[in-house]
């Protein structure tokens, strides 16, 4: 399959932006940042990831059932080092209080969506090249972006610039992100197990 592929469904950009505005105004305490990531075991690999992504933050909308007393669990608690992805099936998840509005419709239309989150990459943020779980695929939906934000794979740079479009990204392969602009890059991100790929590709229209 292609490393990046635009799917046949999309989201209303204004509604997505309104959703993000609500999170920033009313759910700031639910946002995760590097302080949460630093609570994970700090291997040399993890220290390097943290260094590159020091200013990144976001909101976990669905997450593994971890510390239920914390509102700001990371959406990617398994991202400890590049050999940690040993699970071959999805761990149980819970929906947080952020599952409302357009995201609630997403979860109704694609009930097998998991690891749903809003990711914010401020100017200068980056991720080092890495691979994710070998049974999950990620869908990125740009909410705010520009042509100085780079998605890089072994095939080169990819254009993920159409706002509201759903881009299927094969994150089982090496990839990285760089925000070389002076604006935030904000994406809605969710994952699906690869066994649901054809179901996902058959979805059309607006969420």
Residues 117-169: pLDDT tens digits?
Answer: 999 999 988 888 888 889 999 999 999 999 999 999 999 999 999 999 999 99
52's torsion region: left (phi>0), alpha (psi -120 to 50) or beta? alpha
Task: Name, in order, each residue with C-beta under 8 angstroms of 130's C-beta and a sequence gap of 6 or more.
Answer: 49, 82, 174, 175, 176
Model pLDDT, residue 125? 87
pLDDT for position 83: 46
Q: Is domain 4-206 given the CATH code 2.60.120.330 in the classification? A: yes
pLDDT of 49 above 60: no
- Return d(Cα 64, Cα 51) in angstroms, integer: 25
Measured CA to CA, the distance from residue 147 to residue 157 in angstroms comes to 11
What tokens does 177 get? 């992100």
pLDDT tens-digit profile of 51-83?
555 678 999 999 887 667 778 777 766 655 454
Domain ranges of the chain: 4-206
Q: How many residues does the chain have?
A: 207
For residue 127, the model assigns a pLDDT of: 85
Tokens of 12: 């209303």
Q: What is the pLDDT of residue 66?
A: 65
CA–CA gap between residue 108 and residue 144 (Å, rounded): 24
Distance CA 83, CA 121 (A): 25
Greater pLDDT, 108 or 75: 108
């Amino acid at each position: 399959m292609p490393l990046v592929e635009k799917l046949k469904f999309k989201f209303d950009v204004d509604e997505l932006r309104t959703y993000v505005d609500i999170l920033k105004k009313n759910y700031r305490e639910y946002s995760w940042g590097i302080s949460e990531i630093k609570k994970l075991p700090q291997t040399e690999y993890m220290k390097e990831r943290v260094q590159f992504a020091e200013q990144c933050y976001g909101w976990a909308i669905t997450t593994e059932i971890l510390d239920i007393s914390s509102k700001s669990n990371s959406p990617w608690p398994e991202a400890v080092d590049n050999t940690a992805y040993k699970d071959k099936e999805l761990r149980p998840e819970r929906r947080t209080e952020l599952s409302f509005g357009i995201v609630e419709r997403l979860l109704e239309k694609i009930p097998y969506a998991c690891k749903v989150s809003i990711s914010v990459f401020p100017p200068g943020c980056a991720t080092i090249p890495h691979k994710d779980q070998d049974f999950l695929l990620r869908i990125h939906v740009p909410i705010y972006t520009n042509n100085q934000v780079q998605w890089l794979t072994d095939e080169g740079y990819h254009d993920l610039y159409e706002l509201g479009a759903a881009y299927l990204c094969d994150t089982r392969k090496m990839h990285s992100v760089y925000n070389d602009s002076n604006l935030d890059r904000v994406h809605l991100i969710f994952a699906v197990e690869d066994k649901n790929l054809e179901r996902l590709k058959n979805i059309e229209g607006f969420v």
